[in-house]
Structure 1
Amino acid sequence: MIKAMLLVGAGSFFGGIARYLVACLLRGVGAGFPWATLTANVLGCLLIGVLWSLFSHGQASSLNLFLVVGFCGGFTTFSTFSKESLALLQSGDYTLFCLYALGSVALGILAVLLGYILAK
């Protein structure tokens, strides 16, 4: 149990750093639209799809804990997505809200599928 918690914690540490770097790289891109969160979430979904495909064939559970639960959990950010969606809704920009909320979910699902297919 301790080993599993350390693996998840270490993965989350690196995932959080990677998420921060994506935000730094995309700072100032498309003001008014949360590109950094969308990018991190779609990339995280793509990675989860790849890892899901690889680990469904009996790969080590330690790698699954570190990469899927830890890294991808720290890299993707549903809470930020939810906050940004609500902010767009409260600002009255219903078109941007719909594009972001629906686009994030659709792109996320497609990215998981693409990652899964690519890793097969």
Structure 2
Amino acid sequence: MLIKLILIFLGGGLGSCVRFLIVYLNPNIIKTIPIATLIANGLASFVLGIYFYNFKTNPNEAWIKYFIMLGFCGGLSTFSTFSGELMEYIWNHQFWHFFIYIILSISCCLICFYFGFEIKRTLN
């Protein structure tokens, strides 16, 4: 149990640092859509797709599940920021932005996960 928690802790810290760098380095060229959150969530979904395939084919490699899938991807992705950004759209009466951002985010994450999974499957 302790080793699992340490793996999640280390992976989560690394994922959170990567997310910080994405936000810090993001020029936010498109002012109406939070690009940094899209990039972080899309990247986390892509990595999750790759390692989901690995874990599915090699379930005995538990470190993949704890360090990468739960830790790194959990630290990198950010549903709470996504929710806060959606609430800002509602509070500012920007309902079209609200719906577009939901559709864009979910589509982006599903597509990134799919490509990560398929790339890994193809390379094996």
Scaled to the shorter chain, the TM-score interval is: over 0.9
1:64 Cα offset (Å): 2.0
Determine the structure 2 residue equivalent to 1:61.
Answer: 62
Structure 2 Cα separation of the partners of residues 89 and 28 of structure 1: 21
Structure-2 change in CA distance of 1:28 and 1:117 (3 Å): closer
Amino acid at match of 2:23: A
1:28 Cα offset (Å): 3.7
Structure 2 Cα separation of the partners of residues 93 and 119 of structure 1: 39
Q: Give the TM-score of the pair, scaled to structure 2.
A: 0.91
Determine the structure 2 residue equivalent to 1:101.
Answer: 102
Runs of 4+ in 1 over 6 A off after TM superposition: none
Determine the structure 1 residue equivalent to 2:111.
Answer: 110
Structure 1 residues not aligned, in runs of 5+ = none
Answering whether residue 76 of structure 2 is matched by residue 79 of structure 1, we say: no
Structure 1 Cα separation of the partners of residues 28 and 101 of structure 2: 17
Residue identity over aligned pairs, in percent, reads: 28
Determine the structure 2 residue equivalent to 1:90.
Answer: 91
Determine the structure 2 residue equivalent to 1:21.
Answer: 21
1:34 Cα offset (Å): 0.9
Amino acid at match of 2:114: L
Determine the structure 1 residue equivalent to 2:41.
Answer: 41
